[in-house]
Chains A and B, each alone.
Chain A
Amino acid sequence: MHSLLPFFHVWAYLQTQPLLGLAATLCAWELACMLDIKAGHKAWTNPTVLAVLMLVAVLLLTGTSYQAYFTGAVYIHFLLGPATVALAVPMYANWPAIRRNFVPILVSLGAGSVVAALSAMIIAHLLGAPRAIVVSLGPKSVTTPIAMGVAQELGGIPALTAVFVIITGMFGTLICGPLFKAARIKDWQAQGLAAGTAAHGIATSHMIRLNETAGAFGGLAIGLNGVVTALVLPVLVALLGL
């Protein structure tokens, strides 16, 4: 027992330092990516999901608080801001395609975006979910950094939104194939735009593997829907009286 004392000392010290949370996040990510590659990039082996599950398990097993973990993880979290601004670069690259079909793209994307956000919030509200959950569901079709920022602005819980975004992406990836077939959505442009609008980067990375055009339209939908949702959702939330 006595020989364990230095170990506890080091552990107690590390818990107050940023190094442990940072190292744990990076290790979990690397491990998750290895598993994802081994499994052949399945929708359910999404590296973000795997890394989050591993870290949640570690925190629960070691009795570490989220705050203690976040003192280190904040250095990775901080990069979400610049990454959001960086979306301007692929949006600029896609601009000729957006301009060529400006009205069809904006109308289709706007309609899908509003329907997805409104139906999610109305259903959750009718099923008795509290306001914080309802509002956190609003931006779930949008790429995570924008979704979390929007949730924060509207009084939602960004961590919940991050989880909802990931579940949405996985669900969208799983059903988009059969759904497109059933609804006779045959054009790759329409498929890519729908995947990127309703299920952001997770479904888009799936479409990229099927067809290049679908991937490009998914990519432009991610950025456009991020901006559209950030601008429109505050109005929708006010209209619903939430």
Chain B
Amino acid sequence: MVRALTILILYELIGTILQQGTGLPVPGPVIGLILALGWLLKFGPPDGDLRQAAQSLLKYLGLLFVPAGVGVVSELGVLKQNAPAIIIAIAVSTTLGLLVTGVTMQWFLSRREAKPHA
């Protein structure tokens, strides 16, 4: 568990160093994620220890963003002032996102069914 956590933190560290060094607007941990995925694809599956640590962390992802979510307490004023804009933006964009992804993927899958040899 400690070894796996060390590996994850090292990837985050390398990602953060690269981000700071290059000034890329991509978060350091995401660069770490891309590097870790690249490593796994090239050198084979994660061992049991890493798999277990990743599973445990992701199982409690909901808990991990509670502290940041509570930060809304300092933003209540801004949130209230812009409530209609925020609600409309989220409702419309989420509906569009679901539709565009779903319809496009459904189109690809139906096309394949229609032409089994394609």
A interface with B by C-beta (< 8 Å): 21, 25-26, 28-29, 46-48, 51-52, 55-56, 59-60, 66, 69-70, 73-74, 76-77, 79-92, 95, 101, 103-105, 107-109, 111-113, 115-117, 119-121, 123-124, 127-130, 132-133, 137, 140-141, 143-146, 148-150, 152-154, 157-160, 162-164, 166-168, 171-172, 175-176, 179-180, 183-187, 189-191, 193-195, 197-199, 201, 221, 223, 226-227, 230-231, 234
Closest-CB distance, A52 to chain B (whole angstroms): 4
Do B92 and A162 touch across chains, with their CB atoms under 8 A apart? no
**When chains A and B are docked, how far (Å) is the Cα of A60 from the Cα of B73?**
8
Among B33, B69, B73, B101, point to the contact of A166 (Cβ < 8 A).
Answer: B69
Do A180 and B61 touch across chains, with their CB atoms under 8 A apart? no
Closest-CB distance, A29 to chain B (whole angstroms): 5
**When chains A and B are docked, how far (Å) is the Cα of A152 from the Cα of B71?**
14
Among B28, B36, B62, B82, point to the contact of A133 (Cβ < 8 A).
Answer: B82
Do A92 and B93 touch across chains, with their CB atoms under 8 A apart? no
Q: Which residue of A lies closest to B101 (CB)?
A: A112
Do B75 and A160 touch across chains, with their CB atoms under 8 A apart? yes
**When chains A and B are docked, how far (Å) is the Cα of A109 from the Cα of B98?**
10
Query: A52-B66, A104-B109, A112-B101 in contact; A90/B54 too (CB < 8 A)?
Result: yes
Do A73 and B70 touch across chains, with their CB atoms under 8 A apart? yes
User: Majority SS of interface residues in chain A?
Assistant: helix
The residues of A that contact B116 with a CB separation of less than 8 Å are: none
Q: Which residue of A lies closest to B91 (CB)?
A: A171
B68 at the interface (CB under 8 A from A): yes
**When chains A and B are docked, how far (Å) is the Cα of A107 from the Cα of B111?**
15
User: Majority SS of interface residues in chain B?
Assistant: helix
Do B57 and A79 touch across chains, with their CB atoms under 8 A apart? yes
Do B89 and A137 touch across chains, with their CB atoms under 8 A apart? yes
User: Which residues in window 76-106 of B have CB below 8 A to A?
Assistant: 78-79, 82, 84-86, 88-106
Do B68 and A159 touch across chains, with their CB atoms under 8 A apart? yes
Do A194 and B85 touch across chains, with their CB atoms under 8 A apart? no
Do A48 and B96 touch across chains, with their CB atoms under 8 A apart? no
The residues of A that contact B69 with a CB separation of less than 8 Å are: 48, 51-52, 159, 162-163, 166
The residues of A that contact B67 with a CB separation of less than 8 Å are: 21, 25, 69-70, 73-74, 76-77
Do A175 and B70 touch across chains, with their CB atoms under 8 A apart? no
Closest-CB distance, A84 to chain B (whole angstroms): 4
Q: Which residue of A lies closest to B50 (CB)?
A: A89
Do B73 and A59 touch across chains, with their CB atoms under 8 A apart? yes
Residues 21-33 of chain B, each 1 if its beta carbon lies under 8 Å from chain A, else 0: 0000111111011
Do A197 and B97 touch across chains, with their CB atoms under 8 A apart? yes
**When chains A and B are docked, how far (Å) is the Cα of A167 from the Cα of B94?**
10
Do A172 and B68 touch across chains, with their CB atoms under 8 A apart? no
Do A148 and B65 touch across chains, with their CB atoms under 8 A apart? yes
Closest-CB distance, B70 to chain A (whole angstroms): 5
Query: A70-B67, A73-B70 in contact; A113/B97 too (CB < 8 A)?
Result: yes
